[in-house]
């Protein structure tokens, strides 16, 4: 049995101009301890599908699915209390904008201690000690001092480490990392990715890694889902995907890897077809 099993997930948003389908019949499943990458261009519904799982979409979203289970339990029918026990503890998420996810008005220490007290029920003193351990575990330099720092006094990479510290605090069984390195400098990207993979292994967590970077996929994933315009285009284990991509869009994504690159932006399906036509 998969740890997380999502079948035929659809998310529609009510907008001023009518209903908009952001996710259109996507299947996602991840096993215990597995690393699943979800790739696809901007707007393909990667974030929305995972926010749907977390129950974090606004009321304008209508979510339907044939199946939405975590560890055999139906997520969609859970009471608020059941969901709260699950989300933020067993399933946690690192959001796409690390700096924006932190509150600029409070120290990072206050914010992580708050998470520890609310989600794990730790006392103030316990939370303080655990926060320090977590800052050490994610490699924040001068951790005591950094607990007293405000987000703007820290670099983007350090803020991302704080977000990772919050996300692993409960020793989750599933961590969803939404473009965890995109906002960071190239040199820092690798450090953060290495940290995530180290923690994934140490904790035996399942990891869903959302990215548009096939280089990241190659380095991290066991399995890959390729999404395009809200639909799943292809799913394969990572070796098969790189050796024999089945879908034109996957081939287009692979051709954007540095060793294959012809341009500096992500190709789209139409690029791919116009390339083919030009041959
Ligand atoms: N709250 C919302 N209301 C209406 N439309 C939304 C909302 N959130 C997202 N969308 C739309 O849903 C689609 C999918 O968005 P999503 O954020 O999942 O894309 P993504 O694949 O994560 O892209 P990126 O790589 O840029 O992060 C987009 O067209 C987006 O504009
Ligand atoms: Mg996104």
Question: Residue with the nearest Cα to atom 30 of ligand 1?
Answer: 43
Instruction: Output the six-digit token pair for 269.
Output: 């399906």
Is 52 inside any structural domain?
Answer: yes
Nearest ligand to residue 26 Cα = 1
Q: SS3 of 168, please?
A: helix
Ligand 1 in contact with 199 (CB < 6 A)? no
CA of 97 to the centre of ligand 2 (A): 9
Judgement on whether residues 261 and 179 belong to the same structural domain of the protein: no
* Predicted confidence band of residue 125 (pLDDT cuts 50, 70, 90): very high
pLDDT, tens digit, 9 for 90 and up, residues 15-61: 999 999 999 999 999 999 999 999 998 899 999 999 999 988 999 99
Q: Among the listed ranges 72-76, 114-118, 128-132, 184-188, which one has the minimum average pLDDT value?
A: 184-188
159 CA to centre of ligand 1 in angstroms = 23
- The number of domains in the chain is 2
Answer yes or no: is pLDDT of 278 > 60: no
**CA dist list (Å): 5 to 67, 146, 259:** 7, 38, 35
CA 57, chain centre distance (Å): 15
Among the listed ranges 99-103, 156-160, 219-223, 239-243, which one has the minimum average pLDDT value?
Answer: 99-103
Q: Is 44 in the pocket of ligand 1 (CB under 6 A)?
A: yes
Same domain? For 254 and 209 the reply is no
Look at residue 86 and tell me if it is in a domain: yes
* Cβ atoms 65, 74 nearer than 8 A: no
User: Is residue 163 predicted with pLDDT exceeding 80?
Assistant: yes
The pLDDT score that the predictor gives to residue 119 is 85
Count of all residues that appear for the chain in the document: 279
Other beta carbons less than 10 A from residue 129's beta carbon: 13
Each residue of 186-195: pLDDT tens digit? 888 888 899 9
Q: What does the pLDDT look like over 235-262, one tens digit per residue?
A: 999 999 999 999 888 888 888 776 665 5
For residues 260 and 178, state if they share a domain: no
Span 115-142, average pLDDT: 93
Query: What does pLDDT average to over the chain?
Result: 89
Is residue 201 within 8 Å of 207, Cβ to Cβ?
no
Q: Is 189 among the domain residues? A: no
79 and 179 in a common domain: yes
96 pLDDT more than 90: no
CA neighbours closer than 13 Å in the CB half-sphere of residue 21: 11
Q: Which of 122, 112, 123, 175 is nearest to 149 (CA)?
A: 112
pLDDT at residue number 279: 47
> Does the CB atom of residue 121 touch ligand 1 within 6 A?
no
pLDDT at 268 over 60: no
Closest atom, ligand 1, to C-alpha of 11: 12
Domain range for 253 is 247-279
CB of 212 sitting under 6 A from ligand 1: yes
- Domain assignment present for residue 9? The answer is yes
Say whether 256 sits in a helix, a strand or coil: coil
Q: What is the mean pLDDT of residues 148-169?
A: 92
Please give the average per-residue pLDDT across 151-174, as a whole number. Answer: 92
- Judged by its nearest atom, the ligand closest to the C-alpha of residue 52 is 1
Q: Which of 18-22, 99-103, 174-178, 210-214 has the lowest mean pLDDT?
A: 99-103
Environment class of residue 112 by beta-carbon count within 10 Å: exposed (0-12), middle (13-18) or buried (19+)? Answer: buried
Question: Do 2 and 59 lie in a common domain?
Answer: yes
**220 falls within a domain:** yes
22 pocket-lining for ligand 1 (C-beta < 6 Å): yes
Q: For residues 84 and 16, state if they share a domain.
A: yes
**Is the model's pLDDT at 99 over the cut of 80?**
no
Give the pLDDT of residue 141: 93
State the Cα–Cα distance between residues 240 and 78, nearest whole angstrom: 37
51 CA: nearest ligand 1 atom: 18
Higher local confidence (pLDDT), 79 or 240: 240
Does pLDDT of 277 surpass 80?
no
Residue 37 covered by a domain? yes
Confidence of residue 272 (pLDDT cuts 50, 70, 90): very low
């Amino acid at each position: 049995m998969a740890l997380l099993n999502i079948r035929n997930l659809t998310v529609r948003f009510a907008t001023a101009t009518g209903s908009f389908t952001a996710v259109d019949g996507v299947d996602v499943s991840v096993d215990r301890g597995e690393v699943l990458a979800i790739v696809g261009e901007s707007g393909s519904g990667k974030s929305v599908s995972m926010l749907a799982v977390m129950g974090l979409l606004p009321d304008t979203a209508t979510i339907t699915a044939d199946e939405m289970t975590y560890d055999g339990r139906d997520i969609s029918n859970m009471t608020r209390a059941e969901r709260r026990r699950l989300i933020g503890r067993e399933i946690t998420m690192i959001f796409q904008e690390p700096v924006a996810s932190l509150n600029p008005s409070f120290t990072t220490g206050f914010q992580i201690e708050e998470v520890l007290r609310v989600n794990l029920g730790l006392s103030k003193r316990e939370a303080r000690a655990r926060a320090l351990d977590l800052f050490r575990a994610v490699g924040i330099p001068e951790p005591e001092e950094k607990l007293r720092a405000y987000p703007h006094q820290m670099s983007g990479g350090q803020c991302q480490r704080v977000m990772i510290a919050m996300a692993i605090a409960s020793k989750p069984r599933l961590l969803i990392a939404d473009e965890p390195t995109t906002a960071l400098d190239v040199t820092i990207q690798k450090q953060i990715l290495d940290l995530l993979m180290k923690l994934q292994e140490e904790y035996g967590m399942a990891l869903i890694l959302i990215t548009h970077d096939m280089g990241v996929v190659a380095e991290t994933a066991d399995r890959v889902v390729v999404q395009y315009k809200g639909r799943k285009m292809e799913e394969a284990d990572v070796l098969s995907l790189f050796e024999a991509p089945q879908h034109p869009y996957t081939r287009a994504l692979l051709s954007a890897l540095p060793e294959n690159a012809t341009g500096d932006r992500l190709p789209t399906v139409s690029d791919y077809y116009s390339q083919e036509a030009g041959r």
